[in-house]
Amino acid sequence: MDKSLLGIVILALILCMIWTIAYHNRVIKQVKLDQLRDLKSKINNALSLYDCLYIHIDMYKRGFTKNKSLTPKGIVFLLGNLSSKTVMFKEGTLEYIEDHYEADSEIYKAALATYKSKLLSEVNYELNRYNY
């Protein structure tokens, strides 16, 4: 095989590899964006603190929490045990709030709104990273 033909074949292989890598990265990015949009929808539709907790655990498993902890406005997410007692609020644990407040009470509504807000800010942060 002549050197120029060999050079063209090698160049074609390199271009093919570059295209394959670029396409794969685009597919991965689209999958991540779709997952984040799905999480955002689930957060908006969450009706309870437990819904938010399970969404949060799902976000953590997918690697969508920027610093692995939630700490604003009295929420603390502890990684040791993923259970209702690992989410702490100023008024008590998530389990305490679930057991002692009606779903239409102001404390419950405030806790749910705060948790949803923090989860949405985490998702928006990740969306911004993937949308660059």
Radius of gyration of the chain (CA): 22
User: 130: pLDDT confidence band, cut at 50, 70 and 90?
Assistant: confident
User: 89: pLDDT confidence band, cut at 50, 70 and 90?
Assistant: low
**Which tens digit of pLDDT belongs to each residue from 1-59?**
577 777 777 877 887 788 877 776 777 888 888 999 999 999 999 988 888 888 887 88
What range does the domain containing 35 cover? 3-131
Whether the Cβ atoms of residue 56 and residue 88 lie closer than 8 Å to each other: no
Residue in the structure block whose two tokens are 């509504």: 109
Q: Pick from 91, 96, 71, 94: which is nearest to 82 by CA?
A: 94
Residue in the structure block whose two tokens are 């399970």: 54
2 vs 10: CA distance, rounded Å: 12
Number of domains present in the structure of the chain: 1
Q: Which residue has the higher pLDDT, 3 or 128?
A: 128
